[in-house]
Amino acid sequence: MQANHRIHDAIQALKDAIFRRPEEQILHLSLARVYLANNAVDESKITLSKMLETSDIPTEDYLHIAGLYARMNETQLAVDILQRAITENENPSFVESCQITYAFLEHQQNNIALNFLDHIKQNTVNRLAMRCSVLTS
């Protein structure tokens, strides 16, 4: 009983923080995670949907969102989020490129991963190294 009260308090604290600082995307992610950890899948999805309505979402946050959707067994939504990350960041860093590529691979989207690697503006050595990694996965 006391654990439920603490969870409720945590959810309320996060909602209050989001009300005060809606631009702080980590708060939305935290709330979605708390909901998901407590099997409140619908609330988690609603929270993520609201977050996705904002602009200037960093690539790292897209990766977290995709990961949460994957945990909800929403593979297609996860892939859609990864594709949105690509669309909104046409020149990802090497680390972001690796993270996006491996996220696609986790969802058995090898062709999308290869297509992504063919279109990013990484230097040839980095792109070839990632491409080899994808092809051997």
Query: How confident is the model at residue 60, as a pLDDT?
Result: 86
Six-digit token string for 42? 């619908």
Are 61 and 128 contained in the same domain?
Answer: yes
- Identify whether residues 3 and 30 lie together within a single domain: yes
pLDDT digits (tens, 9 = 90+) for 81-108: 888 887 787 677 777 777 777 777 777 7
Count of the separate structural domains present in the chain? 2
Let me know whether 2 and 33 are in one domain: yes
Are 95 and 50 contained in the same domain? no
Closest CA to 50 of 63, 60, 65: 65
pTM confidence score: 0.76
Half-sphere exposure of 74 (CA within 13 A, CB side): 17
More confident residue, 117 or 79: 79
CA neighbor of 98 nearest in space, from 82, 84, 87, 78: 82
CA end-to-end distance (rounded Å), the chain: 46
- 111-136 pLDDT, tens digit per residue, is 777 777 666 655 555 556 666 666 66
95 and 121, same domain (yes or no): yes
CA dist., res. 60 & res. 62, Å (int)? 5
Q: Are 128 and 117 in contact (CB under 8 A)?
A: no
pLDDT in tens, 9-55: 989 999 999 999 988 889 999 999 999 999 999 999 999 999 998 87
The pLDDT, as a whole number, for residue 96 is: 77
Average pLDDT over residues 65-78: 87
Q: How many CA atoms lie within 13 A of 137 on its CB side?
A: 19
| Residue length of the chain | 137
Q: To 10 degrees, the CA torsion angle through 69, 63, 52, 18?
A: 90
Domain residues for the domain of 93 are 57-137
